[in-house]
Chains A and B, each alone.
Chain A
Amino acid sequence: MTQPTEGNDALSRALQRLPTDIEPPHDLWPGVAAAIARERRPQRASVWAMRIAAGLVCVAIGTGLGYGLFRGPATGPGVGPSQEAINTWLVKPVMMDAGYQKARMQLASEFFRRIADLPANDRARVQKGLKQIEDGLRELNDALKSHPDSVLLQQLVLGAYQQELEYMQNVASLTQTVSEQTQT
């Protein structure tokens, strides 16, 4: 089985492709600066969006492969929740392409299917953990709306989406392993 660290490698590769700095704008008089910013921002945001989406697709695929999601239908107890139910938990992804969203939804479906078999207290703790990650993502996305050119925020958003994927994979993997090793 592929090790979870492959997701980390994918992230590392994606991060290596990111610029470590962005040239600050020149000190032009405010009117000209604003006009340039109006033209440049969407372009830069678009480039960043593509880079982040590409990075996360790598992470999602790496994480998904690590868990074996793309090898065939999942087996085991429990019935997966509907996409609508999952969407009530997860922050609506911004700037992400269909490949990433599909991988994320598959992982989330497996995550919720697995935790359905946990004792109620543990399930509540796991759900609370996911909610905290989603709250963090929401906070980051809000900050990014205010500062769309911030490289730092882009990187933090990327990291938070990766943490979300790793968390769901980790919990699903843990519950599956424990279930297999303790069952009759």
Chain B
Amino acid sequence: MNSPDVSGRKARLYTALLLLAATTAFAGETVDERQPATARGTVEVSNVAGTITVRGTSREEVHVTGELGSKARLEFSVEGARTIVKVVLPKSSNSGSTDLDVEVPNGSDLTVSGVSIDIDVTDVHGRLDLQTISGEVQAEGFDRDVRINTVSGDINLRGNKGSAVANIASTSGNIEIKNMGGDANATSVSGDLNLRLTSVGRSRLRTTSGTITLYGELTKDARVDSETVSGDINFYLGGSRDGDYEIATAVGEISNCFGPEPTSHRYGPGEELKFSQGSTSASLRAKTLSGDISLCKE
């Protein structure tokens, strides 16, 4: 056990090291700062208004450039494997848009958050957690799990063809996911969901009025559940298309480019289509109140 003297010296040393590692820049200044960071650490970036552009590099450092808005200041600190880049505005101040470019080690886990910011992330291969109230979100070249949450603004994701898990939510923005395999869960109230996946695993897709469109090949144990109130649902499936299909509309129509024809409900409007093909355990379910549903070859 350390004596109080040794513990006290250690505490003072850690405090001094922390202060050395933390820098602050002030309103209106041009920022160009860098700090060493671990290859697979966590980087947290936040900003109130403006843009955040993050790019993964092979260097073990975090490099921040940009220009601070009026009244804004930048806090940039490293605590072990955790790097924090934070644009701070005085309380009750919404003025001062700041545009930041941040380079991070490409194996980093990345968290970005803001109120009115556009987020653009390229070549960051760790986990991504991107949240903005209003603003567009783009991420390209990711390999691992992605979580994106926005109220308004479109979301565009383009993966590396690898298997990932994407959990995406928007209120009114459109969501587009391309070049990704694995599990894609997406929900929007009025925005459209457009997914072009290399393979489709477990996927839960839901809108109130937006259209759902999914291109991809079902994996052997795929489970796709999609649901809208008034939006249309369109599937364009590649590969063998083996699986159990269960599709129903309460009012709308169903069209099928392969397999059997839909049947009308015996009591009430709407149509349903249930069939199986092949011997995999894949399943695809789609339900809507008043939208139409189509099932076609890719």
Contacts and interface: CB of A to CB of B under 8 A. Distances in A.
B171 A139 contact: no
B132 A133 contact: no
Given A147-B267, A170-B149, A122 B113 contact: no
A181 B268 contact: no
Provide the main secondary structure of the chain A interface: helix
Contacts of B115: 119, 122, 178, 182
B266 A152 contact: no
B208 A133 contact: yes
A136 B227 contact: no
A174 B149 contact: yes
Contacts of B200: none
Contact of A136 (B44, B111, B230, B272): B230
Given A125-B172, A159-B206, A139 B230 contact: yes
B198 interface: no
Contacts of A125: 134, 151-152, 171-172
Contact of B227 (A20, A118, A159, A182): A159
Contacts of A128: 171-172
Given A126-B171, A135-B208, 7 more contacts: A122-B133, A128-B172, A133-B189, A136-B289, A143-B251, A156-B289, A181-B111
A182 B113 contact: yes
Contacts of B287: 152, 155-156, 159
Interface in A113-154: 118-119, 121-122, 125-126, 128-129, 132-133, 135-136, 139-140, 143, 146-147, 149-150, 152-153
A164 to B, nearest CB: 10
B164 to A, nearest CB: 16
19 contacts: A24-B267, A125-B151, A129-B190, A143-B289, A150-B250, A150-B268, A152-B249, A152-B272, A153-B289, A156-B229, A156-B288, A163-B206, A167-B189, A171-B151, A171-B171, A174-B150, A178-B114, A178-B132, A182-B89
Interface residues of B, number: 52
Contacts of A140: 229, 289
Provide the main secondary structure of the chain B interface: strand
A75 interface: no
A166 B227 CA distance: 14
Contacts of A136: 208-209, 229-230, 289
B48 interface: yes
B274 to A, nearest CB: 9
B90 interface: yes
A22 B292 CA distance: 23
B102 interface: no
Contacts of B114: 178, 182
A143 B250 contact: yes
A182 B171 contact: no
A16 interface: no
A173 B196 CA distance: 29
Contacts of A170: 149, 169
Nearest to B249: A152
A152 B248 contact: yes
Given A177-B131, A181-B113, A184-B90, A129 B250 contact: no
A101 interface: no
A163 B224 CA distance: 17
B266 A129 contact: no
Nearest to A153: B250
Interface in B1-60: 44, 46-48
Contacts of B86: 181-182
A181 B204 CA distance: 29
Contacts of B48: 182
Contact of A163 (B208, B251, B290): B208
Contact of B268 (A132, A147, A178, A183): A147
B134 A139 contact: no
B90 to A, nearest CB: 7
Interface string A1-25: 0000100100000000000100010
